[in-house]
């Protein structure tokens, strides 16, 4: 029950963040999507022993979290799903790498990669609604069917999640002292819910038809790319290029040694 | 099984995106050709349904743990492989964005590992051949459990291959495989059991909802009669079905345990086999990662990555991180934090005004 509740709360929290009237929220979704993807590519292409560069690349997530007024705590909480596998893979580097030092460095680099990529993905979704991301996806010619399906899934997650919550509550009240659903009820409980959902899909389809759905999703407002969007994109790409393709880190470090 | 961005390099992630995109393009064409306008809302709602069922816990008898439903297998059994695949793409994308389960760059690989194997291999090579002459409870149970176990094994194996091909881990191939496969064997068996319970229920309540079932049945009249006689003896079959479900559960648990034991035994008693063969081939048993796949992928990587071997450009040390590089990195981080604090200060000032 608490599990479902938590997931729903997480969606609700993200929704609230997306609806804020922040500077970063108003940046064109395509710009944010592009920057996120470029940054992730940049991070994962860093050599596994190049810890110095990895440290510097923290600039982007740090700045975005500040500009977007986001909380680091939330991003860290989101890492719980994805980091275990990364840790499992990285944990053995100190043992199997050429030397222990090399192994530790490659392990830390890998962890940082995992942390940065989750952070920027969070920064994207916390400042951009799914509708806006889907709009951006349409602009880079992702097929209509896929985008509409994504939007519909997102629309119904909350409703279905609440339904799951109700089902679990009802089940727990009738079958106390059980951790989950008993195997005897697997089929009937979920099966009936599935049939109900199929029927619901039918009525969704009918109401969409009545409201004029012809396979194309209509967007309320089509965001135009402003000068600020272009500047934001260019500045960051410039910063990325400097960080990635020059020895700026070595140069700055040289000043202090 | 969701992979993080950190586990892939750009070349492997790109390759997986291309593979996924071509499967998606094929599926979109197929779904468009069906031109069933109802399909899109159904795909959306079923995607959300799969999402919601992931939040439920199912008790696994005999153990204290809980399992989930296998989305790919269930969606393709209801919608067909193509529509199921597209729905899974949507589910995985939303999962990745909303819950940080899987990375944006790794999405291509994740779709391939979970949706492609689950939907296409599971439904076309396992579900459809078994259901060719009509469905029955046993057939559904066999097809679903077999499908879930096999597709999860394939998925887990390709996670291993993709990670090793990316040159991320120093973990030897055999150890990695020996940890991934047995875990996913158990998960696959459990997911298969839960999914088959649901599909069997659907078969009893609304058999027409299942995809790819018994197209030959209504062709000839003799088969129709067979079906009628099936119905008359359905009560006996039902009892059998109930019993067999329990039995399958027990049998599968034993099989899973035995198989896991055998695999891990094999893996631990034969780690030298691989090293031995490497010594024969390469003259050394201490390669970084094993196998040709790694080297091929490494070549691809060094030719396609944004800046190959950047770290080794101006230093002879294998580490590639010079002291000045580390110090410089720290300085930049400090400056960065300072700038952010100034930014925050000004913004807060603005708010108060």
* Per-chain mean pLDDT for chain B: 74
For residue A123, which of B100, B330, B344 has the smallest C-alpha distance? Answer: B100
Residue B348 domain boundaries: 313-352
Question: Pick from B282, B298, B333: which residue ends a domain?
Answer: B282
| CB contact at 8 A, A249 and B328 | yes
Instruction: pLDDT band for B339, please (50, 70, 90 cuts).
Output: confident
In a domain, A9, yes or no: no
Shared-domain flag, residues A114 and A203? no
**Does residue A38 sit at the B interface (CB-CB below 8 Å)?**
no
Higher-confidence residue of B236 and B18: namely B18
Q: What ipTM score was computed for the predicted complex, to two decimals?
A: 0.91
DSSP B58: E
Q: How far apart are CA B304 and CA B306, in angstroms?
A: 6
Of residues B44 and B297, more confidence is placed in B44
Whether A12 shows a pLDDT value over 70: the answer reads yes
Distance CA A82, CA A66 (A): 24
- Check residue B201 and give its pLDDT: 93
- Provide the percentage of residues in chain B whose pLDDT is more than 70: 64
pLDDT at A86 over 50: yes
Write out the residue range of the structural domain in which residue A95 sits.
20-128+222-250
For residue A6, being part of any structural domain is answered with: no
User: Both B275 and B326 in a single domain?
Assistant: no
Q: Tell me whether A40 touches chain B (CB under 8 Å).
A: yes
Structure-token match 């969704």, residue found: A204
The CA-to-CA distance between both ends of chain A, in Å, stands at 56
Quick: pLDDT tens for B249-288: 566 556 555 555 555 444 444 444 334 444 444 444 444 4
For residue B295, the model assigns a pLDDT of 55
Q: Which positions ≥6 away from B248 have C-beta within 8 Å? A: B141, B145, B193
Looking at the fold, whether A111 and A231 belong to one and the same domain comes out as: yes
List CB contacts (< 8 A) between B4 and chain A: 82-83, 85-86, 114, 117-118
Together in a domain, B43 and B89: yes
Look at chain A and report how many structural domains it folds into: 2
Asked if residue A173 and residue A52 are part of one domain, the reply reads no
Instruction: Output the pTM of the full model.
Output: 0.79
Q: Which of B26, B255, B15, B54 lies closest to B124, judged by CA?
A: B26
| In a shared domain, residues B35 and B98 | yes
The yes-or-no verdict on residue B14 having pLDDT over 80 is yes
Highest mean pLDDT among B129-133, B170-174, B297-301: B129-133
Of the two residues B225 and B36, the one the predictor is more confident about is B36
Share of chain A above pLDDT 90, in %: 30
Are residues B225 and B320 located together in one domain of the fold? no
| Same domain membership, residue B102 and residue B216 | yes
Asked if residues A146 and B34 have their Cβ atoms less than 8 Å apart, the reply is no
A41 in a domain, yes or no? yes
Residues whose CB falls within 8 Å of the CB of residue A27, separated by 6 or more in sequence, listed in order = A127, A228, A229, A232
Whether A59 maps to a domain, the answer reads yes
For residue B301, being part of any structural domain is answered with no
Nearest-angstrom CA–CA distance, B287 and A256: 38
Q: Do B92 and B35 have their domain in common?
A: yes
Tell me the nearest-neighbour CA distance from A131 into chain B, angstroms.
12
Whether B298 maps to a domain, the answer reads no
**Domain count for chain B:** 2
- Which chain A residues are closer than 8 Å to B324 by Cβ? 249-250, 253-254, 257
- CB-CB under 8 Å, B48 with A159: yes
In a domain, A215, yes or no: no
- Which chain A residues are within 8 Å of B44, Cβ to Cβ? 148-149, 151-153, 155-156, 201, 204
Shared domain for A192 and A229, answered yes or no, is: no
Among B234, B265, B282, give the residue marking a domain's end: B282
d(CA B226, CA B220) in angstroms, rounded, equals 10
Same domain, B274 and B346: no
Are residues B250 and B322 part of one domain? Answer: no
Do residues A39 and A155 share a domain? no
Residues of chain B found within 8 Å of residue A79, distances taken between Cβ atoms: 100
Residues 97-116 of A with CB under 8 A from B: 97-99, 101-103, 105-106, 110-111, 113-114
- Provide the 3-class DSSP secondary structure of residue B66: strand
Q: For A56-74, what is each residue's pLDDT tens digit? A: 888 899 889 988 889 888 8
Query: Lowest-pLDDT range, A161-175, B156-170, B208-222, B226-240?
Result: B226-240
CA distance A224 to chain B (A): 24
Query: Does residue A137 lie within any of the structural domains?
Result: no
Asked, for residue A27, whether it belongs to a domain, the answer is yes
The stretch B298-316 carries a mean pLDDT of: 42
> Are A64 and A110 in the same domain?
yes
Same domain, residue pair B197 and B329: no
Is position B304 within any domain? no
DSSP B295-306: HHHHHHHHHHSS
**Triad A150, A156, A158: Cα angle to 5°:** 120
- Check: CB of residue B234 under 8 Å from CB of residue B187: no
Is there a contact between B253 and B62 (Cβ–Cβ < 8 Å)? yes
- pLDDT grade for A177, boundaries at 50, 70 and 90: confident
Confirm or reject contact between B206 and chain A (CB < 8 A): yes
pLDDT digit string, tens, across residues A226-236: 999 999 999 99
């Amino acid at each position: 029950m608490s599990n479902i509740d938590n997931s729903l709360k997480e969606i609700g929290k993200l929704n609230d963040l997306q609806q804020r009237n922040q500077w970063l929220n108003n940046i064109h979704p395509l710009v944010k999507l592009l920057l996120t993807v470029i940054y992730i590519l940049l991070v994962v292409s860093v050599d596994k022993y190049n810890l110095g560069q990895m440290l510097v690349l923290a600039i982007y997530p740090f700045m975005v979290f500040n500009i977007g007024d986001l909380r680091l705590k939330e991003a860290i909480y989101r890492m719980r799903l994805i980091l275990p596998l990364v840790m499992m893979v990285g944990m053995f580097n100190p043992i199997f790498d050429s030397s222990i030092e090399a192994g530790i460095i490659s392990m830390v680099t890998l962890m940082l990669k995992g942390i940065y990529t989750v952070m920027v993905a969070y920064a994207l979704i916390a400042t951009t609604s799914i509708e806006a991301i889907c709009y951006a996806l349409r602009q880079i010619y992702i097929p209509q069917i896929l985008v509409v399906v994504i939007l519909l899934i997102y629309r119904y997650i909350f409703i279905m999640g609440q339904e799951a919550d109700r089902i679990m509550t009802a089940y727990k009240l009738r079958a106390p002292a059980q951790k989950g659903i008993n195997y005897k009820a697997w089929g009937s409980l979920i099966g009936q819910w599935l049939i109900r959902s199929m029927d619901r899909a039918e009525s969704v389809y009918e109401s969409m038809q009545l409201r004029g759905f012809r396979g194309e999703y209509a967007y309320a407002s089509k965001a135009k790319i402003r000068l600020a969007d272009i500047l934001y994109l260019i500045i960051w790409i410039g910063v990325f290029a400097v960080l990635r393709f020059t020895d700026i880190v070595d140069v700055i470090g040289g000043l202090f040694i | 099984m969701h992979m993080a961005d950190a586990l892939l390099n750009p070349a492997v992630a790109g390759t997986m995106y291309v593979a996924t995109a071509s499967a998606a393009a094929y599926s979109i064409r197929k779904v468009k050709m069906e031109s069933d306008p109802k399909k899109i809302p159904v795909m959306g709602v079923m995607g959300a349904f799969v999402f919601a069922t992931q939040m439920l816990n199912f008790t696994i008898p005999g153990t204290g743990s809980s399992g989930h439903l296998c989305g790919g297998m269930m969606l393709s059994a209801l919608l067909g492989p193509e529509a199921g695949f597209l729905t899974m793409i949507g589910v995985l994308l939303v999962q990745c964005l909303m819950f940080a389960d899987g990375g944006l760059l790794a999405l291509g690989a994740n779709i391939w590992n979970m949706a492609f194997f689950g939907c296409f291999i599971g439904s076309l090579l396992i579900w459809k051949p078994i259901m060719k002459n009509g469905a029955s409870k046993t057939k559904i149970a066999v097809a679903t459990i077999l499908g879930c176990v096999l597709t999860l094994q394939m998925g887990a194996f390709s996670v291993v291959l993709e990670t090793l091909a990316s040159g991320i881990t120093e973990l030897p191939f055999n150890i990695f495989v020996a940890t991934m496969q047995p875990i996913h064997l158990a998960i696959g068996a459990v997911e298969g059991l839960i999914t088959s319970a649901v599909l069997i229920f659907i078969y009893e309540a609304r058999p027409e909802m299942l995809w790819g079932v018994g197209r030959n049945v209504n062709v000839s009249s003799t088969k129709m009669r067979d079906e009628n006689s099936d119905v008359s003896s359905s009560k006996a079959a039902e009892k059998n079905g109930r019993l067999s479900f329990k039995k399958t559960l027990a049998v599968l648990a034993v099989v899973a345990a035995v198989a896991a034991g055998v695999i891990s035994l094999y893996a631990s008693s034969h780690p030298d086999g691989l090293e031995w063969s490497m010594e024969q081939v390469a003259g050394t048993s201490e390669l970084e990662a094993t196998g040709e796949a790694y080297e091929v992928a490494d070549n691809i990587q060094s030719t396609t990555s944004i800046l190959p071997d950047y770290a080794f450009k101006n230093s002879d040390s294998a580490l590639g991180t010079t002291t000045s590089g580390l110090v410089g990195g720290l300085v930049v981080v400090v400056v960065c934090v300072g700038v952010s604090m100034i930014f925050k200060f000004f913004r807060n000032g603005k708010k108060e005004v």
